[in-house]
Chains A and B, each alone.
Chain A
Amino acid sequence: MEENVLELYDLCKTYKDTKAVSHLNMNIKKGDIYGFIGKNGAGKSTTLKMITGLIFPTSGEVKLFGEERNALTSRRIGSLIETAGLYPNLSAYDNMELKAIAMGIDSKNKINELLSLVRLDAKSKKVVKKFSLGMKQRLGIALALLGNPDLLILDEPINGLDPEGIREVREIIQYLNDTKKMTIIISSHILGELSKIATKYGIIRDGHVVEEITAKELDKRCRNYLSLKVNQAEKAIPLLEKNLNIKDYTVHENNEIWIYDNVKSSDVSMQLAQNGVEVNQIYYQKQDLESYFLKKCGGEQS
């Protein structure tokens, strides 16, 4: 059975009269790369902060690795929330060393290994305030990886990065998931990038999750299809299967049929008309990932 790494039940966070997060439920399994998507102010960062323990929920429950939060579960989480928290006048190695000492990790090799993973020079004396944004974010990831966490939480890790920086962060995430089977939650606005690595998505809108969907389901939903509304779906289907050889289709409410096979709309309407099936509506639906998310996130009128 797949282990639940994170479960959120009815999680709420209220600031005075504002509900930042409202009755949010979420379930993340071991090995998932969970893309957490939502507009600015939807409640992504607040949710991630509640998971890491930076802020306290007003109500609801956070379960980590099947348990209430405790000292052991806290040690199994690594996080990079918003910007990387770094001392600007210290080098990358010094920043890493301070956190390593605080965690009781007495291994220079571990620090060197993590800095090399994120492609930073452990021997460099360059102070962090002279780093580029990409370098800071990579160092933030290295800090989050101290202590070999089982769950890595990254809040907007590619925000403000150039394409090269985005690719580097993506490769690190993919590597950690592939080699260490690390479960990763990553929130981002850059949907195209997220879709390259995420295995599951959670879409948050106005403080609650409007949809949780696997990458496979999403691919299916984002395929092009021919949508037709008929008066008798049960009569139309055998006709289309037999005469137009369609195999990949779904039937929805109100006699609506979605045909994913490559067929001409003129052939479909002619075939059905000739056999006495009335076609009320027919059109091609083209939906890419971005428009799907925007619709769900409330960026576009659905």
Chain B
Amino acid sequence: MINMIKSDIKRLLKSKGFWFSLVIFIFIYVISIFMQTSAQETGTFSPTNSAPEPGFYISIDIVVKSLNSFATMFGHSFGTLILGIYLAIFVCNEYSSGYIKNVVTLPNGRLTIIISKIVVAAFIDFIIILLCYGIGLILGHILIDGFIVESMDVLLKSSTVMFVMTLALFSLIIVITTVFRNKIAGIILVLLISSGMLQPFLTSLFDFIHLSFLSEYTLSSLFLNSALVEENNIIKVIFTSLCYVIVYNAISIAITQKRDI
């Protein structure tokens, strides 16, 4: 199992697409931070540490002043979107190239190809968090007047929430790409969920079946409100995300174990 994980990490690091996606993500994140700088220089804006509304932000009507806000409002959403698209391609390439035939026949190959993808997803997730805080910290100090760095406790809690939420979405991408053997399905899904565009549909659906309370537990809802997670909701969000991680990956493993390649 360790060998398969090493092999997939090696493939990730050899992939130009991965480095290209990282560059795109860093570029957009840096642009977002720079737009905050220009906003604070050109007008009078009220500073904020939390997003007034959920969604993607390349915003100039507020000036974000804290590290955690940079990471949760700008970095995490764009990182998940861009690297999520790459993950769908990464998983799908194994099928489309036919390389899966080389590894699935190895001892426990059917189990380890999914586990190695989960590890790759966690690795990418970790890099997103690292870049969110790393770039935010450096550019925030340089560019933002009165830049605030929250306590380590707050940063750890936020990064844990972001990590498990992204891992849940990446697990969903793995299962969808594995089922359909198609990267487009995974890409559409990541766009719908990480942008929150799926949420109105899900809310209506749950309302229709009189289970409205469930709509706040959807992955789409978690992402839509990722920048607004309050202290008392952290455990609930982490637990819900972990449930998704377990369920999605169990489905991926079950399908791969039973299916003809």
User: Do A and B originate from a single complex?
Assistant: yes
State how many angstroms separate the Cβ of A187 from the closest Cβ of chain B.
15
Known: A87-B11, A97-B10, A143-B102. A102 touches B107 (CB 8 A): no
Asked whether, in the complex, the Cβ of B260 is within 8 Å of the Cβ of A56, the reply is: yes
Asked whether, in the complex, the Cβ of B106 is within 8 Å of the Cβ of A75, the reply is: yes
> Cα distance A141–B98 when bound, in Å?
14
Interface centre among B97, B105, B260 (most CB of A within 10 A): B105
> Cα distance A86–B11 when bound, in Å?
12
B101: nearest chain-A partner, CB-CB: A85
State how many angstroms separate the Cβ of A42 from the closest Cβ of chain B.
18
List residues 85-105 of chain B with CB under 8 A from any CB of chain A.
93, 97-105
Known: A94-B14, A99-B7. A87 touches B103 (CB 8 A): no
Which of A55, A77, A85, A104 is close to B98, meaning CB atoms less than 8 Å apart? Answer: A85
When distances are taken between beta carbons in the complex, the residues of chain B under 8 Å from A94 are: 14
State how many angstroms separate the Cβ of A219 from the closest Cβ of chain B.
35
> Cα distance A102–B105 when bound, in Å?
11
Query: How many A-B Cβ pairs are below 8 Å?
Result: 73
List residues 50-87 of chain A with CB under 8 A from any CB of chain B.
52-56, 71-72, 74-75, 77, 79, 81-87
> Cα distance A83–B4 when bound, in Å?
22
When distances are taken between beta carbons in the complex, the residues of chain A under 8 Å from B151 are: none
State how many angstroms separate the Cβ of A147 from the closest Cβ of chain B.
9
Asked whether, in the complex, the Cβ of B93 is within 8 Å of the Cβ of A87, the reply is: yes
State how many angstroms separate the Cβ of A58 from the closest Cβ of chain B.
11
B107: nearest chain-A partner, CB-CB: A71
Asked whether, in the complex, the Cβ of A89 is within 8 Å of the Cβ of B16, the reply is: yes
Determine whether B236 belongs to the interface, using a CB cutoff of 8 Å to chain A.
no
Determine whether B157 belongs to the interface, using a CB cutoff of 8 Å to chain A.
no
When distances are taken between beta carbons in the complex, the residues of chain A under 8 Å from B15 are: 89
Known: A54-B261, A99-B7, A101-B3. A85 touches B106 (CB 8 A): no
Asked whether, in the complex, the Cβ of B10 is within 8 Å of the Cβ of A98, the reply is: yes
* Tier of interface size on chain B: 20 to 34
Determine whether B204 belongs to the interface, using a CB cutoff of 8 Å to chain A.
no
Determine whether A263 belongs to the interface, using a CB cutoff of 8 Å to chain B.
no
> Cα distance A101–B100 when bound, in Å?
14
Known: A56-B260, A85-B101, A102-B7. A90 touches B107 (CB 8 A): no
When distances are taken between beta carbons in the complex, the residues of chain A under 8 Å from B7 are: 98-99, 101-102
State how many angstroms separate the Cβ of B20 from the closest Cβ of chain A.
12
Which of A54, A56, A74, A98 is close to B101, meaning CB atoms less than 8 Å apart? Answer: A54
Asked whether, in the complex, the Cβ of B98 is within 8 Å of the Cβ of A52, the reply is: no
When distances are taken between beta carbons in the complex, the residues of chain B under 8 Å from A97 are: 10
Which of A75, A90, A99 is close to B103, meaning CB atoms less than 8 Å apart? Answer: A99
When distances are taken between beta carbons in the complex, the residues of chain A under 8 Å from B260 are: 49, 54-56
B116: nearest chain-A partner, CB-CB: A102
Asked whether, in the complex, the Cβ of A87 is within 8 Å of the Cβ of B99, the reply is: yes
When distances are taken between beta carbons in the complex, the residues of chain B under 8 Å from A82 are: 98
> Cα distance A104–B99 when bound, in Å?
17
List residues 59-100 of chain B with CB under 8 A from any CB of chain A.
93, 97-100
Asked whether, in the complex, the Cβ of A88 is within 8 Å of the Cβ of B97, the reply is: yes
Which of A72, A104, A143 is close to B3, meaning CB atoms less than 8 Å apart? Answer: A104
> Cα distance A99–B104 when bound, in Å?
11
> Cα distance A226–B47 when bound, in Å?
103
Beyond known contacts A86-B98, A98-B11, A101-B3: 17 more, CB 8 A cutoff: A49-B260, A52-B105, A54-B101, A55-B261, A74-B105, A74-B107, A82-B98, A85-B101, A87-B11, A88-B97, A89-B16, A98-B7, A98-B99, A99-B103, A101-B6, A103-B106, A143-B102
A-B contact pairs, 30 of them (CB 8 A): A49-B260, A52-B101, A53-B105, A54-B101, A54-B104, A55-B260, A55-B261, A56-B258, A56-B260, A71-B107, A72-B107, A74-B109, A75-B106, A82-B98, A83-B98, A85-B100, A85-B102, A87-B93, A87-B97, A87-B99, A89-B16, A90-B14, A94-B14, A98-B11, A99-B103, A102-B6, A102-B102, A102-B103, A102-B106, A103-B106
